[in-house]
A and B are shown apart, each in its own frame.
Chain A
Amino acid sequence: MAILEAQEIRKEFGPLVAVNDVSLSVDEGDVLGLIGPNGAGKTTLLKMFGTLVRPTAGRAQLVGRDLTKDYLHIRKHVGFLPDFFNLYSDLTLGECLRFFAEAYGVPRSAIAARVEEVLSSIELTDKRDSFIRHLSRGMVQRVGLGMLLVHDPQLFLLDEPASGLDPKARIQLRNILRKLSAEGKTVIISSHILTELSGFCSHVAIMNRGRIELSGAVDEIRRKVTGSMQVEISVLGDPEQAVALLRRFPDVSVVGVDRATISVEMVGGPQELARLNAHLVHGGIEVVRFAERKTDLEDLFMKISGDAL
């Protein structure tokens, strides 16, 4: 079921078209990585979905409500984390989470337990009574996520959540995001640092100059972009015998041999993969490893950039 459905949504700032008639659908449980270079329109698009910026034209439904008419309802059920933010420095971490829980309508009787739960999930329980101004940037970023978690939104909109963080803080943040993804939360996360998104995005949308150039499930996009699967096969013994067998298999081309590992490109899907494996085994090859090599989002983006930018 679609939690976000946008049709030809557009934002103009004077003569500049920041988001150009974007149509996008995000289903419940999807983790969508919004990738693109700086100035592609990612932040404006997220701000529109977060009800911070009013679209110039187009329609969008979030959590079943109209973006422009029911913005208060949407705000209650969507958690938006802006790219540059801070939190109330005059409050302690516990007070800050409590304030957001109250503002987002968490029942009063459940607030204390919810705050504790979130503190534990962002691993900052021991900082409950510390003032926000005494927390490090990485901690504040985690509190930002915690602030969204406290009201358990149906959709998370995260704009460059790891920008400005050191590697340790990035790993901590990534762990929280993986946890969200594993819990089946719907997340739209923008970044131009693609390694940040690798590993937990189920879908990607690639934005450039205000438009979505390509979007869909990661595997689907990978096939669309590369047109083939990359397979790595490790064998026991002489790889040349395996290479000869592989060359006889339709739509397969051997792209490289490195000691006992053979890199292969092939057209097709999982069934063709299974058949190729069987073909090798029946040909007497002792296959040690047979795996599709997942193209990194970075490679994908560069490939798309090369084609489209």
Chain B
Amino acid sequence: MSRTTASDNLVWNNPLIRRYARSLFRRSHLWVYLTIYISVVLLLLFLNVVGRELDEDSAIGRTFFQGLYSQFLMAEIAILWVWSALNSRSALREEVANKTYDFFRLLPLSALQKAVGILVGKNLLCLLLAVVTLAAMTLFGLLGGLPVSFQAQILLLVSSVAFCVNAVVLLSSSASPKRRGKMGVGLWLVLLVFFGPLVFGPGLALLRVGAGLQEATTHHVPFYSIEVPVLMLIIFLALYFGLWSLLGVLRKFTFEGAPLFSRPAAVLFLLGYELIVLGLFLPHLPGGESLFYFYWLIVSLLPVVFIPAGAINDRAGYLEALGRRPAHPGSAGQGMRSLLLQQCNLSLGIVLFAIWLVFFVIASQGERIATAQLIKDAVVLASCYVFLLFLLELCVVYEPIHGKIRVLIMFVLLLYLFLPLILAVTLAVPSLHLYSPLGFLADFVSFATPRRADFWMAILGVNVALGVVPALAIRRQYMQILALRRTM
């Protein structure tokens, strides 16, 4: 009797992969793609050979093959980063458009089998062409005298980023499979958050040294106190974010309609993210304020702002969570209130901000910022953050009642972020810019007078005043949710 292993079920015996293979490898489709691919390859070879012959130095040597290696690498990147991402993104949307999505959801396959089924199955043709391209790359690399270790690093880099990109786009489409059309703003934000460290950390380091492709494999960047090969660091980061995205996909396939992050996952993701970001930036944080400190602030704060939106518990979720609680006569009202406070988005946001504060203190140690200043900054940033959380929560509790509340809240958010900046310029009162969180953060690098430290009480006062009405409105809706739950 044959034994079936987990990998068999994931890849070789995965019915989804077989289903896609039947459709993709139909002779009537396959020859079209193969013709295009072979034509492109032949055209590339032809142009390279003709170009070389027109050149005075007509010898076909190492440089020629290295050139071919680079061109095939570009083709590999186009196949694995762009084409496959488009395929992965379209998988669920096609199911919805074809009205087969319910059958997909009902398949008795594990979430991992479904995710692998899409990522591999939908991209079978891409993978086939990528393997052929890789074989050509390897051949040209060897003929061009490129070391095997370099080629291995490039291969790992291309495949890990391909995994990350595909997982992220699948996550995006599983989060909203019923939405069609262009990539939403949400996805761009997710990409920004996920790839932020890639861009700001080793990416910047690479740009700074002006490293070429081959130099990149030998270039090292500091991560905390150790020196890490830069490509390895990028591969690690791509795998980290790719795995988190895959976990998100599995969650979406298991608990449809649930928020992207569970509460523990939101905390864990933030912890990992902050550890990575701090590791990348800490070696660059000298004494005194610096541009890097400002970059760190922005990069580290982004997920604190966006994760609550990804872990959002909506009004229906509150009602459901309160309904699951067993009734205890007498203390029911008190118990429900405390459960609502535990489940609400405000409490998660506060926990995330508290975690960020720890990293803020550590990063600020490198900057040798005075404790009093640190406390003032923390208090003001906390007040801004709580106000933003209030806006998010207003959206959550009022949207089922007032369908267009989101538009109003977006307007208030824009006013909150930009009005102080506009007023500062229009009224020629520079200190007004500090009343916007953006202006306040910009002050970390602006070195302009007036400084944020002199205005912290006033900014805090404004944020508290702004927060009163939303807080009362949220409280009113919480009471209504509790009352509604008792009558259901």
Residues of A within 8 A of B (CB): 12-15, 17, 50-52, 54, 56-57, 72-73, 75-76, 80, 82, 84-91, 95, 99, 102-105, 147
Contact = CB atoms under 8 A, between A and B. Distances in A.
A16 to B, nearest CB: 9
A135 B255 CA distance: 34
Interface residues of B, number: 27
Contacts of B324: 56-57
Q: Which of B16, B103, B484 has the most CB of A within 10 A?
A: B103
Interface string B81-112: 00000000000000000111011011111100
A196 B255 CA distance: 35
A54 B315 CA distance: 17
A88 B23 CA distance: 10
Question: For the complex, would chain A's binding face be called helix, strand, loop or mixed by DSSP majority?
Answer: loop
Contact of B22 (A75, A86, A89, A95): A95
Contact of A88 (B18, B100, B106): B100
B106 A80 contact: yes
A102 B18 CA distance: 9
B407 interface: no
A72 B105 CA distance: 11
A75 B107 contact: yes
A72 B255 CA distance: 13
Given A54-B255, A57-B323, A75-B108, A86 B15 contact: no
A91 B23 contact: yes
A175 B466 CA distance: 68
A164 to B, nearest CB: 12
B19 interface: yes
B319 interface: yes
Contacts, number: 76
B488 A17 contact: yes
Given A75-B108, A86-B100, A12 B19 contact: no
B400 interface: yes
In this complex, which of B15, B100, B102, B320 has the most chain A Cβ atoms within 10 angstroms of its Cβ?
Answer: B102
Given A57-B323, A57-B324, A85-B100, A75 B484 contact: no
B316 interface: yes
Nearest to A85: B99
A136 to B, nearest CB: 16
A219 B319 CA distance: 41
A99 B15 contact: yes
A185 B271 CA distance: 53
Contacts of A57: 323-324
Q: Which of A14, A17, A50, A54 is most buried by chain B, counting CB atoms within 10 A of its CB? A: A14
A98 to B, nearest CB: 8
The 8 A-B pairs with the shortest beta carbon distances in the complex, nearest first, are: A86-B99, A14-B316, A75-B108, A102-B15, A103-B15, A76-B108, A90-B23, A99-B19
Contacts of B23: 88, 90-91
Interface string B233-245: 0000000000000
A105 B108 contact: yes
A95 B106 CA distance: 18
Contacts of A99: 15, 18-19, 22
A87 B100 contact: yes
A306 to B, nearest CB: 28
A89 B98 contact: yes
A52 B316 contact: no
A95 B15 CA distance: 11
Contacts of B484: 15
Contacts of A87: 98, 100, 103
Interface in B274-319: 315-316, 319
Contact of A84 (B99, B106, B108, B109): B99
A12 B488 contact: yes
Contacts of A147: 103
Contacts of B323: 12, 56-57
B345 to A, nearest CB: 16
A104 B108 CA distance: 6
A227 to B, nearest CB: 35
Given A95-B22, A102-B18, A82 B102 contact: yes
Contact of A12 (B18, B103, B320): B320
Nearest to A86: B99
Query: Looking at B15, B108, B110, which has the most chain A CB atoms within 10 Å of its CB?
Result: B108
A204 B29 CA distance: 49
B106 A52 contact: yes
Given A14-B315, A85-B102, A91 B110 contact: no
Contact of A103 (B100, B102, B105, B107): B107
Contacts of A91: 19, 22-23
Contact of B102 (A14, A52, A76): A52
